[in-house]
Structure 1
Amino acid sequence: MEKSTQYQKLFQDTFNSIQEENENLKDLNILISGKSGVGKSTLINAIFGDKLSDTGVGLPITDKISLISKDGFPVHIYDTIGLELKSVKMDIHSIGKAVSKNEVKKLIHNVQKTKQDDDDIHVVWYAISGNSARIEEPEIDLIKWIIKHEIPVIIVLTKSFDNVEAQKLKQSILELVPDIENVVVTLAEDSETKQAFGIDELINETFKVLPEEIKTSFVHSQAASYELKRKEAIKVVNTSMAANFGVGFVPVDGADGPMMMAAQTAMIGKITSIYGVDIHKNQIETVISSLLGVYGSLILGKSLSSNLLKLIPGLGSIGGGLISGGVGMIITGALGRAYIELMELVLDGKVNLSSTTPDEITEILISLFPKYLPKMTAK
């Protein structure tokens, strides 16, 4: 196969891999409930950023619930509007009447009646002001009802300007509702006197309770926790390293870069999807050319110091032939971790894939290699 044809196939395969990862994301349905004014919208924006904030109030489902969603985005949020709860007598007639009138219960009943899994409520965030003196009895009743229907509930104490009081309320709730998944104390946005906190904890607690097949969609969609994205991306890198161990690469006629990069296409696609970076087809060439530039430098020893060459056993002699599976695994691991950092630079707005040249990105990736190679060779 001609070199130019190999390059084009590599670009297309990588683009297809990213597209496939994004298209295979399963729908995640979150119900966020709580009284008016507790800061539900602020919470949503803090976690999902501008991915959902420009959708407005969402599509009305009932008088009290709206659906916030966006084409091509796997998260759908049922947001209660002006929900006010009243105490219910504990008899069959009263409970039945309450279910028929309570919008949250009606929604849960309706989605549970369908055979499709993709419209199930996967988690409930129940928001209560952290400044509240206590949780109301009707709220406790509703939360217990939801838990009884096997839907995980995380109580989110919002607007927790006084952390001491919020922690007291948290302990009280844990005693009153022992089957709750957790109570997370948050301040979703900075105030004049306090920095925002608790969002990472809410993200991690949510990740724990989601079904395995839904977790990737949540990691992809949430915009607040790089730590979670990084953790999941490193799992992908480790899997790719294991797959490459013992395989090895044989450079032939200058086509060594495409041959090696072909083995990393799935890894690059998964990492890109985890970070939710929307790479257009014309940007794929920039990314792939940059990665090929890294391989070319490693193979030919260009743009690399002698110290870097010493970090990879056997790398100094690979220009003449075989790259062992062990060396290939090390290169795969370092490349994957460097690419993870590149994705974070893109999300931070420090690297613009549309205006940065392949050579510039290659230099960024090469500069990141020494951070990981000693760790790789030490294992």
Structure 2
Amino acid sequence: MSADAHGHDNEAFDVAAVFQEGLAQADQEEAMLNVMLAGRPGAGKSTLVNAIFGERIAPVGTGAPVTQKINAYRRPHLPVTVYDTPGYELGKSPKEVAGYFLSQIRKEVTTQGSEIHFALYCSLIANKRVEQFEADLVRALAGEVHTAFVLTQCLDKESQEVIDLRAHLDSRKLPIVENRPFPVLAEEKLLTFSGQSILVKQFGLEDLLRALTRVLPAAQKRTLVSRQRVNLELKVKEANAIVAETALKASAIAAVPIPLYDIGPLSALQVAMFARITRVMGFSIEPKSLAAACTAVIGVGTAARTASSLLKLALPLVGSVVNATVAGSTTYAMGTAYVKACEGLLRLQIAGVPIDQDDIIGALVREWKKAR
């Protein structure tokens, strides 16, 4: 510890440590998300949920059905539990089947103090119609939990098949999410016609996710947005909300103007904001690399020196005192620049381009220079 010219003690400001604390805070802002899958065997339930989260959560089968009973699938680093239900038991009514599925899943989630947050009912577009049993099952499920009706393995969301099925479902007046089905192709597909190959790209998942975020509680919404891997728009929107919230807190910290050498709490708030944005954007990269990149860009040293670096990255610092306006506007400028840098990097990562610490540093420097 050392004293500055004004007699104030300055402790070393550990950017990496504060960044890790911000990640921990972001984790606490999330909550376990419980997802139920239903539909006929082979309807693409596992493929759908794996595509949403960008990793193999549920097994995908070919031929014989994978799921013979209700299975709970989890990954240790992912606050999501997927409950995959089996095919329908003959001799049972739709209401009985729905009641059994819901009661069995609720036995587990209730012990965790949680609930089923939404269900995805999957139906192959190739089936061309929805049987009465399916319609009654969906109606029973939707009466208890938010249920999205997903038309899987669609090759064209504007096809006559989709139009006809939409009309068919409209006529049944099912109480499903947004009162409409969601045509989806969860995985891109290569088609061959007359010796020529056509690649049909993935579609429909972004629309489905937007709809789901509208029915979820705040904590589960944050989990879905940060952990899904298909809708970047949702991530950016949530990240910008963090920026706005942090800017208000920064203004409050400096409501009474504070001298530069006393600005450690503001610096910590800003670094924690970077970490929370990082979690929401959902990089598949070691958090330590991101923390190291931030450290390299803003510099490490005493709280005062780091604060000065942070502030000057976005706005010129006037004098040696920071007031509420400077603190809030600077934090906002830094946050939006960080979001833009993360957005650009994540677009590359989603496209399959590997990124490393140097890429992160370069992106941060470019965006923060623009913010000045």
Query: What is the TM-score of this pair, normalised by structure 1?
Result: 0.76
Residue 120 (structure 1) aligned with residue 115 (structure 2): yes
| TM-superposition CA deviations, 1:100-120 (whole Å, max 9, x none) | xx3x53231134457446452
> Any residues of structure 2 matched to 1:71-110 within 5 Å, and which?
71-81=76-86, 83-84=87-88, 86=90, 99=96, 102=97, 105-110=99-104
Gap change, CA 1:211 and 1:164, over 3 Å in 2: same
Task: Give the counterpart letter for 2:330 in structure 1.
Answer: I
More strand by share: 2
Q: 2:297–2:365: 8 Å Cα contact kept in structure 1?
A: no
Instruction: Give the SS at the match of 1:209.
Output: coil
Task: Give the counterpart letter for 1:32 in structure 2.
Answer: L
- Name the CA distance, whole Å, in 1 between partners of 2:152 and 2:85: 15
Q: 2:67–2:85: 8 Å Cα contact kept in structure 1?
A: no
Identity %: 24
> Any residues of structure 2 matched to 1:97-176 within 5 Å, and which?
99=96, 102=97, 105-112=99-106, 115-116=110-111, 118-148=113-143, 150-162=144-156, 163-176=159-172
- Name the CA distance, whole Å, in 1 between partners of 2:290 and 2:276: 16
Gap change, CA 1:245 and 1:118, over 3 Å in 2: same
Gap change, CA 1:251 and 1:361, over 3 Å in 2: farther
Instruction: Give the SS at the match of 1:26.
Output: coil
1:331 is matched with 330
Q: 1:28–1:118: 8 Å Cα contact kept in structure 2?
A: no
How much does 1:205 deviate? 1.1
Instruction: Give the SS at the match of 2:71.
Output: strand
How much does 1:335 deviate? 1.3
| TM-superposition CA deviations, 1:320-366 (whole Å, max 9, x none) | 4223322322221121122223333454346745x42xxx7555324
Structure 2 residue aligned with 1:261, among 260, 267, 280?
267
Structure 1 residue aligned with 2:259, among 242, 250, 254?
250
How much does 1:292 deviate? 4.2
How much does 1:186 deviate? 1.1
Task: Give the counterpart letter for 1:12 in structure 2.
Answer: A
Alignment coverage as a number of residue pairs: 337
Q: 1:157–1:184: 8 Å Cα contact kept in structure 2?
A: yes
Gap change, CA 1:117 and 1:171, over 3 Å in 2: farther
Task: Give the counterpart letter for 2:103 in structure 1.
Answer: H
How much does 1:236 deviate? 0.6
Instruction: Give the SS at the match of 2:259.
Output: coil
Task: Give the counterpart letter for 2:206 in structure 1.
Answer: D
Q: 1:42–1:188: 8 Å Cα contact kept in structure 2?
A: yes
How much does 1:137 deviate? 0.8
Task: Give the counterpart letter for 1:180 in structure 2.
Answer: I
| TM-superposition CA deviations, 1:42-94 (whole Å, max 9, x none) | 212221112636x778xxx983322221113111111234x146576xxxxx6
Gap change, CA 1:152 and 1:39, over 3 Å in 2: same
Structure 1 residue aligned with 2:38, among 33, 36, 40?
33
> Structure 1: any 5+ residue segments left out of the alignment?
89-93, 302-307, 374-379
Gap change, CA 1:342 and 1:184, over 3 Å in 2: same
Q: 1:69–1:77: 8 Å Cα contact kept in structure 2?
A: yes
Residue 321 (structure 1) aligned with residue 320 (structure 2): yes
Residue 285 (structure 1) aligned with residue 292 (structure 2): yes
How much does 1:160 deviate? 1.4
How much does 1:372 deviate? 5.6
| TM-superposition CA deviations, 1:236-274 (whole Å, max 9, x none) | 10111122236255323xx87x56422313322321221
2:21 is matched with 16
- Name the CA distance, whole Å, in 1 between partners of 2:34 and 2:311: 47
Task: Give the counterpart letter for 1:264 in structure 2.
Answer: Q
Instruction: Give the SS at the match of 2:202.
Output: coil
How much does 1:129 deviate? 1.3
Task: Give the counterpart letter for 1:138 in structure 2.
Answer: F
Task: Give the counterpart letter for 1:130 in structure 2.
Answer: I
Gap change, CA 1:363 and 1:223, over 3 Å in 2: closer
Residue 47 (structure 1) aligned with residue 80 (structure 2): no
Instruction: Give the SS at the match of 1:36.
Output: coil
> Structure 2: any 5+ residue segments left out of the alignment?
3-8, 191-197, 301-305
Q: 2:120–2:149: 8 Å Cα contact kept in structure 1?
A: yes
Gap change, CA 1:259 and 1:75, over 3 Å in 2: closer
- Name the CA distance, whole Å, in 2 between partners of 1:122 and 1:245: 36
2:189 is matched with 191
Instruction: Give the SS at the match of 1:14.
Output: helix
| TM-superposition CA deviations, 1:7-31 (whole Å, max 9, x none) | 22x4322212212322553111111
